[in-house]
Structure 1
Amino acid sequence: MVDDRFALYFAPPEGSALDRLGSAWLGRDARSGAALDRPMVPGLDPARAETLTDSPRFYGFHGTLKAPFALRAGTTADDLMAAVETFAATRTGFDLPALMVAPLGGFVALVPSAPAPALDELAAACVETFDAFRAPPSADELARRRAAGLTAGEQALLERWGYPYVMDAFRFHMTLTGRIADDGERAAVIEALRALFGPAIAAPVPVDGLAVFHQPERAAPFRLIRRVPFLTPAG
């Protein structure tokens, strides 16, 4: 049984301030897989920072456009890559609204500070265009999703698209921590990360292509294997 998965993500331009800092904060370069030294964050214990970044480090620094999926029978990785190239050749880049550090569902993330209709449209187009490559989720995966507590709308999205947080339920974010149960600790982490990320998110962030991530097997972390630029760059 093939157990690998692909995902279509936004990843900051390679070498940009946000790319370098986001990867360093998580402690892993998603391109090479190499461990990175995390910057010291005043008021945040390094051991706690390591624990807080366990989950996002596994996925790499990114914003989800199409969530991880196994390939449908009869499709190949080459087929997917060709489709990504065709899709990207029709797209025009754009700049994200300024990002900000904020709480989201109990964890901490970078989120747009204003509505981003171009980003919402891109994510919806990715979900729809590449659905032909997605294998149906297993019964166990569906049960796990439902156990998290879904609204009726999210349940319908899960059944149609294999993931509940798409289309009208989509909320773009770049995850910085796992869930933090204590409100006081979460507030302190947000304050510390606002200071850390402030300079890197001061300038507009271009969305100029798709990042294809790959997970060779379920216990392995995701790697960024290819960036496919849009036909027309941002700006």
Structure 2
Amino acid sequence: MSNFPRYAIYYLPAAGSALAQFGSAMLGYDVVSGDDVPFGEATACIADWRDITADPRGYGFHATLKAPFGLSGGRSESDLLWACATFAETPRAIPQIAPVIRPIGRFIALVPEGPSETLQQLAADCVRDFDEFRAPLSAEDRARRKPERLTPEQVGYLDRWGYPYVMDEFRFHMTLTGSLDPARHDELLALLRGQFAATGIDRIAIDRIAVLRQDARGARFKSIAQFELRSADY
């Protein structure tokens, strides 16, 4: 069984930024304050929008860099926060992406328009550098990842890093919906693209990491700390 609380290392937009406000309004949840927020006017008119966004609401508007994990024996929350602060102080190239709204399988997410080596490197560094804090996967948690549906490489990553979508399998995305009926895909994709275009955001710096905590199974994740990354050009 999973250890609780669980922690995750995510990218979160800066609190109060246009991107944070957009994501919070789409999901109806502010992952920094831990408060419910009103849906945007356009999505609030969709009768089942709360149901459509139920799954991503539990995680908040984010991009995963190190997937949720219980702490390994002898490690504490304060140890993890100290390690994140140290990581953030290491000079590095700050990824910049041109954001677009696209489908990923049956859900819709904000993703980079094209590949980014610096973003892939940041994600890989997070996976490696924070792995000492991760408790080993239980048999139950491993089964929950449905390894029978994964490729051999993904199973190898699951067993080595506790998550199958890392390293060359990593795809940066900020989820906006749960799994959708294909018949509604085009309608909702057009709506979300229109809502995002209205923000005027055409570039996003992946310039911070955040530590989030989930206190019990089924509880929502909440940000407990954010650390701005130090640019190599600083």
Verify the 8 A CA contact 2:94 2:229 in the aligned structure 1. Answer: no
* Matching residue of 1:89: 89
For these two proteins, the number of residue pairs brought into alignment is 233
The TM-score with structure 2 as length reference comes to 0.93
Cα 1:73/1:228, change in 2 over 3 Å: same
Decide whether the 8 Å contact of 2:97 with 2:116 is kept in 1.
Answer: yes
Please give the residue correspondences for 1:210-225 in structure 2 after superposition, counting only pairs within 5 Å: 210-225=209-224
**Equivalent residue of 1:59, what SS?**
coil
Deviations 1:74-120 (CA, angstroms, capped at 9, x unpaired): 11111111111111100335253211111112111001001111111
Distance in 2 between residues matched to 1:126 and 1:7, nearest whole Å: 10
Q: Quick one: distance in 2 between partners of 1:225 and 1:71?
A: 15
3-state secondary structure, aligned to 2:145: helix
User: 2: CA distance between counterparts of 1:11 and 1:183?
Assistant: 29
- Alignment-derived partner of residue 153 in structure 1: 153
In the TM superposition, what are the counterparts of 1:73-222 in structure 2 within 5 Å?
Answer: 73-92=73-92, 94-146=94-146, 149-180=149-180, 182-200=181-199, 202-222=201-221
Whether the aligned pair in 1 keeps the contact of 2:97 and 2:205 (CA below 8 Å) is no
Q: Give the counterpart letter for 1:179 in structure 2.
A: S
Q: Distance in 1 between matches of 2:227 and 2:201?
A: 25
Q: Quick one: structure 1 residues 159 and 65, their matched pair in 2 at CA, closer, same or farther if it must change by over 3 Å?
A: same
Cα shift at 1:147: 5.1
Query: Which structure 2 residue ranges, 5 or more long, are not aligned?
Result: none
Runs of 4 or more consecutive aligned structure 1 residues displaced over 2 Å after TM superposition: 44-47, 91-96, 199-203, 231-235
Extract unaligned runs of 5+ from structure 1: none
For 1:13, the equivalent position in structure 2 comes to: 14
Shift, 1:45, TM fit: 4.5
Q: Distance in 2 between matches of 1:148 and 1:49?
A: 32
Paired-residue identity, %? 42
Any residues of structure 2 matched to 1:54-69 within 5 Å, and which? 54-69=54-69
Normalization by structure 1: what TM-score?
A: 0.93
Q: Which SS does the other structure have where 1:172 is aligned?
A: coil
The alignment yields a C-alpha RMSD, in angstroms, of 1.9
Q: Is contact 1:207-1:234 (8 Å) kept?
A: no
> Which residue identity is paired with 2:72?
R
